[in-house]
């Protein structure tokens, strides 16, 4: 059971959170100009690295706010937690 640092509430058990997949995948500014391949990229293709990964979480049983976490997908270490809209900190 992960212990996830919510930027607003502090560290909490993973069961309080829901997962949102890869972070920093913005909705295209004008989807009508995006071709089919890139649109499929937005819809379905996500990084799946074995290593550090910036991902989204939402503190469902707490503040209900979304935020980003940098986690290692093998060791499950968490090296950063930061609000949405800010860029991935230069850690790990």
Partner 1 sequence: MTWQLTPRLPAQPDFLWAEAEPKASYDVIIVGAGGHGLATAYYLAKNHGITNVAVLERGWLAGGNMARNTTIIRSNYLWDESAGIYEHALKLWEGLEADLDCEVAFSQRGVLNLAHSLGDVREGRRRVNANQLNGVDAEWLTPEDVQKIAPILNISTDVRYPVLGATFQPRAGIAKHDWVAWGYARAAHAMGVDLIQGCEVTGVLREGDRVVGVDTVSGPIRAGRVALAAAGHSSVITASLGLRLPLQSFPLQALVSELLEQVLDTVVMSNAVHVYVSQAHKGELVMGAGIDGYVGYGQRGSFPVIEHQMAAAIELFPIFARAHVLRTWGGIVDVSPDASPIVGLTPFEGLYVNCGWGTGGFKATPGIGWVFADTIANDRPHPLAQPFALARFADGALIDEHGAAAVAH
Partner 2 sequence: MRITVDGVQLAARPGDTLASALLRAGRRVLSQGIYTGRPRGLVSAGVEESNVFVQVLSGSGEPMVRATEIEAYDGLRVRTLAGKGLLPDEPDEARYDKTFAHTDVLVVGGGPAGLMAALAAGESGARVLLIDDQPRLGGRLLASRAIVDGLAVHDWVSSMRDRLQALPEVTVTSRTAVVGYYDHNYLVAVERRTDHLGSAAPATMARHRLWNIRAGQVVLATGAHERSIAFADNDRPGIMLAHSATAYAWRYGCRPGRRAVVFGAHDGALAAAVELADAGVEVAAVLDVRDVVGADFAAALARRGISVQTGATVSGTLADDDGVLRAVLTSAGETVAADLLAVSGGWNPAVELFSQSGGRTFWSEAAAGFVPDTAAQPTHCAGVLTGAVSLARVLSEGAGAGAEAARAAGLDVTEPATPSVEGELREEAAPAAYFCVDSAAEETVFVDLQRDATLHDIRRAVGAGLTSVEHIKRYTTIGTAADQGRGSGVLAVGVLAQLSGRSMAEIGTTTYRPPYTPISFALLAGRDRGRLADPERVTAIHDWHVEHGAVFEDVGQWKRPWFFPRPAESMDEAVRRECAAARTGVAMMDASTLGTIELQGADVGLLLDRLYTNVFSSLKIGSVRYGVMCGPDGMVIDDGTTARLAEDRWLMSTTTGNAAKILEWLEEWLQTEWPDLDVRCTSVTDQWSTVVLVGPRSRDTLEELAPELDCSVEGFPFMTVRQAAVAGIPARIMRVSFSGELAYEITVASWYALAVWEAVFAAGEITPYGTETMHVLRAEKGYPIVGQDTDGTVTPQDLGMGWIVSKKKPDFVGKRSFARADTSRSDRRQLVGVVPVDGRSRVAEGAQLVSHGAVLTQPPVAMHGHVTSSYHSVALGTPFALALLDAGASRHGEVLDAVDDGHATAVQVVSPVPYDPDGVRRDG
- Given a contact cutoff of 8 angstroms between Cβ atoms, the answer to whether 22 and 47 are in contact is yes
- Given a contact cutoff of 8 angstroms between Cβ atoms, the answer to whether 18 and 2 are in contact is no
The closest of 56, 67, 60 to 15, measured between CA atoms, is 60
| 50 near partner 1 (CB under 8 A) | yes
Interactions with partner 1, residue window 62-81 (CB under 8 A) = 73-76
Alpha helices in the chain (DSSP H): 36-44
| 85 near partner 2 (CB under 8 A) | yes
Choice between 31 and 64, CB closer to Zn ion = 64
Contact residues toward partner 1 (CB under 8 A) are 1-2, 14-15, 18-19, 21, 36-37, 39-41, 43-50, 53, 55, 73-76
């Amino acid at each position: 059971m992960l212990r996830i640092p919510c930027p607003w509430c502090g560290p909490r058990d993973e069961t309080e959170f829901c997962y949102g997949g890869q972070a920093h995948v913005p909705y295209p500014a004008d989807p009508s100009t995006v071709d089919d391949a890139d649109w499929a990229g937005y819809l379905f293709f996500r990084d799946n690295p074995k290593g550090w990964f910036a991902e989204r979480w939402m503190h469902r049983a707490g503040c209900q706010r979304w935020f980003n976490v940098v986690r290692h997908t093998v060791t499950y270490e968490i090296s950063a937690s930061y609000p949405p809209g800010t860029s991935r900190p230069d850690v790990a």
